[in-house]
A and B are shown apart, each in its own frame.
Chain A
Amino acid sequence: DAGVIQSPRHEVTEMGQEVTLRCKPISGHNSLFWYRQTMMRGLELLIYFNNNVPIDDSGMPEDRFSAKMPNASFSTLKIQPSEPRDSAVYFCASSQQGNYGYTFGSGTRLTVV
């Protein structure tokens, strides 16, 4: 298995632009998580899905952030409009229900200038 696949690896965008981050979970995993990692806050859970359904989005910082999971093999995290304080590394992780260990992707490093 190729693991959790995220794209792009790096994204540099101007303030105000829309940013879309993509994630392909491990096949057979039915839980998907989006995390944000910053120097100040460490790893923060933004949202997670079970069986493609958003279960808890209380970690999403603002309405500018949205996430979708249209099917079991794909999820997106969108920021519109982006701001410099959104600069961080965004990780996607997946797990199989009943198996609590997460597998993380390599992350997307987002820089908003």
Chain B
Amino acid sequence: GENVGLHLPTLSVQEGDNSIINCAYSNSASDYFIWYKQESGKGPQFIIDIRSNMDKRQGQRVTVLLNKTVKHLSLQIAATQPGDSAVYFCAERYGNNRLAFGKGNQVVVIP
């Protein structure tokens, strides 16, 4: 995939366990955040979003937590499955509907 060879932070997790992926963002004025998942050979795919007036949002098997005090975002994946193996990016909205992406975190699910 596009990120093969890049020394991304890698999380190896046993199938069925929970995963937590962390992200630090840079702009305290950012008002909207998104987590994307990118599988090898594909474009980033929207997973879940959160606005800055919230600190937690839940989706199906995923939860995003936002700590504005320390500018930290996390993605929790419950009961990780082999199909969750991918690179995960956090993104922050700034300016006029522009998104800035983090470097990404590789998740490897061990069957």
Interface residues of A (CB under 8 A from B): 4, 31, 33, 37, 39-40, 42-43, 45, 48, 50, 55-56, 89, 91, 93, 95, 97, 100-107, 109
Contact = CB atoms under 8 A, between A and B. Distances in A.
B96 to A, nearest CB: 6
Interface string B30-71: 001010100001111110010000000000000000000000
Contact of A43 (B32, B41, B97, B101): B101
A95 B97 contact: yes
17 contacts: A31-B97, A39-B5, A39-B6, A42-B102, A45-B98, A48-B97, A50-B96, A56-B98, A91-B43, A100-B32, A100-B49, A100-B99, A102-B34, A102-B44, A102-B99, A106-B42, A107-B2
A91 to B, nearest CB: 5
Contacts of A104: 36, 43-45
A100 B93 contact: yes
Cβ-closest 3 pairs across A and B: A104-B43, A43-B101, A39-B6
Chain A binding surface, main DSSP class: strand
Contacts of B3: 39
Interface residues of B, number: 26
Nearest to A91: B43
Contacts of A91: 43-44
B101 A42 contact: yes
Nearest to A4: B43
Given A39-B6, A45-B98, A101 B43 contact: no
Contacts of A102: 34, 44, 46, 99
Which of B2, B43, B95 has the most C-beta atoms of chain A within 10 angstroms of its own C-beta?
A: B43
Contacts of A39: 2-3, 5-6
Contacts of B100: 45
B49 A101 contact: yes
Given A48-B98, A91-B43, A106-B43, A101 B34 contact: yes
Contacts of A48: 97-98
